[in-house]
A and B are shown apart, each in its own frame.
Chain A
Amino acid sequence: MIRSLFGRMLSTLLLFAGAAAILLPFAWMLSLAFKPRDEIFSPEIRLLPSRLEWGNFVVALTETDVPLFLWNGFVVVAGILAFQILFAVPCSYALAQRRFKGRTLVFGLVLAALLVPFHVTAIPIFLGFAKAGILNSYGALILPFVPTAFGIFLFRQFFSQLPADLFDAARVDGLSETAIVWRIAFPLAMPAATAFAIFSVTAHWNDLFWPLIATTDPHLATPPRGILYFRDQESGDDVGPLMAAAVIITAPLVIAFLLAQRKFTQGLAAGGLKG
């Protein structure tokens, strides 16, 4: 009894220590974002600011391009998700509920595409976009991510669990296959769609690799690209606003995660399949 109580205390203590280590960069980021300038540059350790300095956030939101970065992030992430669903859902429905020539081939392609990390395709896509003259545009940031083998895979799994009778009944009612996809299959697939959306939005809101390659125009910077522009411009005395910008950029996903933890964890864990 005593021994198990001791074990419980020890493991709780260790879990708290680990959580503190995990929280350290978040805490320091918030601390610097709310500290007045002189406290940031003081050599003494102080986690809590003496007063909350909102000025850093005001500077980040009014004197820098952070609002533009957020907008760009929103446009790119929403564009990618919309096109991914538009292309993936009909294809997964056909793979799961229709028998057609080449079905095995298409599904084989989906499985093969799952093996290809995006980094591998970057050079040829860059070359093609340069030739087409569409680098430095929203299109360049969105287009390469439209094909989503992972999305097709996920939706196909879901659709193949639905009974075929359901779709036969809809056909008897005179619905076209396109109407069946968008008015029957897709609404039923909301759980899969939510998991996929969380995975896709998180991946592309956070992506740095492709925005770094495809755009050189700061006005097209997505949040991660943008904060690097901001950091590289400031000469080391704008730490407060820089940390405020980091807080602002991290906030949307962290808040979404805190509000919908279960869905978030499921969506991101499902993404592990993609590797």
Chain B
Amino acid sequence: MKGHPARALTIAHCEALTDLWLAGPATLVMVLFIFLPVAVVAVLSFTDYQFGAPGFSWIGLENYSKLFGSTLGRRAIVNTLIYVAIVIPLSVGLGLAVALGLHRMMAWAPWLSQTLRTLYFLPVAATLVAMSVAWQMVLHPSLGIVNQTLAALGATPRDWLSDRGLVLYTLATIGIWQTVGYNMVLFLAGLVAIPPELYDAAEVDGAGGGWSRFWTVTWPMLGPTTLFVLVVTATNAFRVFETVATLTRGGPAFASDTLVYALYREGFVYFKAGYASAITMVFFAFLLVLTLAQFRIVERRVHYR
């Protein structure tokens, strides 16, 4: 070491200040807008706080027992789970089917395959709220093309968005419509990454037909992609909000109420911050499990290479 110890210290200080200058601001806003709010929402979930109220009292787990114990609270949870349970298999399954079809089409009609891929991806890029308004007109009781077609075919027109038994399935259909293209893109990337030699090897081993090729090569090789797609679809489905807020506001009679919509309504329409915080925490717990699973899958994918 040349230089004086005092000077070396100054350089070390300078370096530390530089690190603070580079990494400090981002860390600070992260603490301020992410970690602090998470701590606050966790604390609030044990209180009866209402926006604008002068004070609050501790009520222990009362908010949680209200959420799990009341018909309305349970309905929001069950509706969300039903929605997720419909969207995941159909969106992932259809995404895979479309990807397989388009991947094979690449061999004999690349241009057509590209065009179809663009079309399928369109809903992912489009503004969901504006498209929900469009869906509202598609499903309109009298002016919508769906009911007009049904009427022309002699079938009974339905109230797709105001029939209690139907509304959740209608929203799930829109959810599937919106996410199939996204899953298709992820699956296509997975398909491209499968080495063609594997198919040749499978043929030598006697797995020549389409189905046996799929089960012996494609499906196992797509395993990590499929897991990833499943978790991404699940996390997105759990957050369903835009379509509910635009098309049904949780109705009719809470038949399409979901966790995030209930959190919005209780918190920001009825201003029950304490109860809404408990809904938030339950929603957070569901997503945390899924996201941690996703992290592990991403890690595994990296390790495969």
A residues bordering B, Cβ < 8 Å? 7-8, 11-12, 14-16, 18-19, 21-26, 28-29, 32, 40-41, 43-45, 47, 87-88, 90-91, 93-95, 98, 100-103, 106, 109-110, 112-117, 119-128, 130, 143-144, 146-147, 149, 152, 177-178, 181, 202, 205-206, 208-209, 212-213, 223-224, 227-228, 231, 239, 242-243, 245-247, 249-250, 253-254, 256-258, 261, 264-265, 268-269, 272-273, 275
Does the CB pair A253–B125 fall under 8 Å?
yes
Does the CB pair A88–B126 fall under 8 Å?
no
Counting residue pairs across A and B whose Cβ atoms lie within 8 Å, the total is 275
Query: Which residues does chain A contribute within 8 Å of B18, judged by CB atoms?
Result: 98, 177
Nearest residue, chain B, Cβ from A11: B101
Does the CB pair A265–B273 fall under 8 Å?
no
Pick the 6 closest A-B CB pairs, nearest first: A91-B26, A224-B129, A121-B37, A124-B37, A29-B134, A124-B40
Does the CB pair A250–B38 fall under 8 Å?
no
B residues bordering A, Cβ < 8 Å? 15-16, 18-19, 21-23, 25-27, 29-38, 40-41, 44, 51, 94, 97-98, 101-102, 104-105, 108, 116, 118-131, 133-135, 137-138, 142-145, 148-149, 151-152, 177, 180-182, 185-186, 189, 210, 228, 231-232, 235-236, 239, 241-242, 245-246, 260, 263-264, 267-268, 273, 276-277, 280, 283-284, 287-288, 290-292, 294, 298
Does the CB pair B130–A250 fall under 8 Å?
yes
Interchain CB contact (< 8 A) of B38 among A121, A143, A181: A121
A243-B267 contact, Cβ under 8 Å, with A11-B101, A22-B180, A22-B181? no
- A265 to B114 alpha-carbon distance, docked (Å): 13
- Chain A nearest CB, measured from B238 CB (Å): 9
- Chain B nearest CB, measured from A127 CB (Å): 7
Interchain CB contact (< 8 A) of B242 among A28, A110, A224: A224
Interchain CB contact (< 8 A) of A275 among B116, B138, B290: B290
- A71 to B98 alpha-carbon distance, docked (Å): 37
Does the CB pair B98–A268 fall under 8 Å?
no
- A99 to B236 alpha-carbon distance, docked (Å): 36
- A248 to B135 alpha-carbon distance, docked (Å): 16
B contact patch SS: helix
Does the CB pair A249–B292 fall under 8 Å?
no
Does the CB pair B121–A227 fall under 8 Å?
no
Does the CB pair B130–A44 fall under 8 Å?
no
Does the CB pair B26–A88 fall under 8 Å?
yes
Does the CB pair A149–B30 fall under 8 Å?
yes
Does the CB pair A19–B116 fall under 8 Å?
yes
Nearest residue, chain A, Cβ from B243: A208
Query: Which residues does chain A contribute within 8 Å of B210, judged by CB atoms?
Result: 7
Query: Which residues does chain A contribute within 8 Å of B235, judged by CB atoms?
Result: 275
Interchain CB contact (< 8 A) of B119 among A23, A29, A90, A116: A23
Does the CB pair A90–B22 fall under 8 Å?
yes
- 19 example contacts (A-B, Cβ-Cβ < 8 A) are as follows A18-B98, A19-B116, A25-B131, A26-B134, A91-B22, A91-B26, A102-B23, A116-B34, A119-B241, A120-B37, A120-B38, A123-B280, A147-B33, A152-B26, A208-B241, A224-B129, A228-B246, A258-B118, A264-B125
Query: Which residues does chain B contribute within 8 Å of A223, judged by CB atoms?
Result: 127, 129-130
Query: Which residues does chain A contribute within 8 Å of B98, judged by CB atoms?
Result: 15, 18
Interchain CB contact (< 8 A) of A100 among B19, B29, B38: B19
Query: Which residues does chain B contribute within 8 Å of A202, judged by CB atoms?
Result: 125
- Chain A nearest CB, measured from B165 CB (Å): 22
Query: Which residues does chain B contribute within 8 Å of A117, judged by CB atoms?
Result: 239, 283-284, 287
Nearest residue, chain A, Cβ from B151: A43
- A8 to B124 alpha-carbon distance, docked (Å): 27
Does the CB pair B290–A94 fall under 8 Å?
no
Does the CB pair B26–A41 fall under 8 Å?
no
- A15 to B33 alpha-carbon distance, docked (Å): 45
A261-B287 contact, Cβ under 8 Å, with A7-B210, A11-B101? no
